[in-house]
Structure 1
């Protein structure tokens, strides 16, 4: 037996009605979803840390999630692991006609366009009657908000709803900032209005990132790592001076932050 066959057998044993694990027997498709999302993020974290050993382990944990879903599907007779594998195999062949079909050579950009066109045809084929699917249909609600925003705006762009010049998106960001500034100045402040304007601002920023060829989710994750690194540097600066976070004023914290930035070889300009 292969390692995959062994894993499928282990999963079957865990779900055995008589001798299985009580926790595993309680699980449903819905109850596993949070664990699947957590494992996917742990894979991403291992990749960002460039830790190959952790990558292997976390990918194994993510594979186990697929095996778990497959077992649940097999038990109810809807699908099994083989049908999952066969489905993705067929999809990859169908979406790469330049490799497995008669289409000629293609560029990476051309492949992306071809892939999306084939996906659109597949969505249309799945619809019943004469209703044509909307351009924004099937973008998963469970995606992180930044990722979903990028996908929604990318779908809209493919049908022509797109600023022709990225500088126009910068103007839109400035416009949204002005509207947020006005909302913050209202007396009494309407917090729901403020939240709405912040949402509009974030949407515009995601669009700007997309137009610039940057994934907003990845960019923010990188920004988070940079902030965390520099804040730890701030703590080190204070510790060297015998100071604590609790006793330091904001001005002192800002100065320590700029020192931490300077130690990275960057100009200490702003936060």
Structure 2
């Protein structure tokens, strides 16, 4: 493990921790102080790779959420939280004698240089985005082969959101020709999986229903890939739309002196349809007014 970062004395550490211009070195030192077994934070001292990993995933999702909401001030804070997660894991690794934060930075720098020979090397930049994507995947495949990850699907992280991982698995398989050539065939497969789910629900066990539902979601992810849609982003947008429309139902019911609990499904559904129609009309008006 590299020992390029010397541990400062208490006085120097205090100066760095409280220096607003201390940059990444300040953050690394704060992390070291939090993990100090004698003077650090009891909660931080107890953490491990496994206990911190869920927070890392959560912070990545919060970054995506801030972007979706176009809240750039919030994004600044969320990116800091995500950066802190990288520093946290690097500190755990340093304590275990595995690697340190400097090694993490060197590795990502080297990786980006190696994967962009058209920027940092002698290759031409005169390529389409599709060609650059193919080149990127070719380089990544070579990297996997050098790590003895020779299988087509090796290296697709288990911790990814399930829909994202499904798309990545399907994309890998598609590179070696295991893919439907036309979107219509994917739609046919969705119809087939839907029929199998209905059959399982009628005649089979809950485990069969579980498996058929998973198959249907997997094919839906494949449809998203064929349509060049990020299924996670599409589902987040659908969640936001549902939230917005249901809040409108609550607001309208409140105007009538009621709540969802003391309203009928028919009443709420009628309001939902009104909200939906209003949104569609608003969207049509925006499109019509666009020069």
Tell whether 2:251 aligns with 1:236: yes
Alignment root-mean-square deviation, CA: 1.5
Q: Could you tell me how far 1:70 is from its partner in structure 2? A: 1.4
Deviation string, structure 1 residues 44-85 (Cα, Å, up to 9, x no partner): 111111111111111111111111111122222211111100
Deviation string, structure 1 residues 112-162 (Cα, Å, up to 9, x no partner): 1111110110010111xxxx7111111111111101101111111111011
Task: Give the secondary-structure state (helix, strand or coil) at the position aligned to 1:178.
Answer: helix
Tell whether 2:268 aligns with 1:253: yes
Q: Which runs of no fewer than 5 residues in structure 2 stay unpaired? A: 1-15, 17-21, 283-291
Which residue pairs with 2:64 in the alignment?
44
Deviation string, structure 1 residues 67-104 (Cα, Å, up to 9, x no partner): 11111222222111111000000000000111111111
Task: Give the secondary-structure state (helix, strand or coil) at the position aligned to 2:280.
Answer: coil
Which residue pairs with 1:115 in the alignment?
136
Q: Which has the higher contact order (CA 8 A, sep 6+)?
A: 2
Task: Give the secondary-structure state (helix, strand or coil) at the position aligned to 2:99.
Answer: coil
Moved over 6 A (4+): none
Tell whether 2:158 aligns with 1:137: no
Residue among 182, 186, 193 paired with 1:165: 182
The number of residue pairs the alignment matches comes to 261
**TM-score where L is the length of structure 1:** 0.92
Distance in 2, matches of 1:110 and 1:102, equals 16
Contact persistence 1:234–1:259 (CA under 8 A) = no
Tell whether 2:58 aligns with 1:23: no
Which residue pairs with 2:237 in the alignment?
222
Distance in 2, matches of 1:214 and 1:220, equals 10
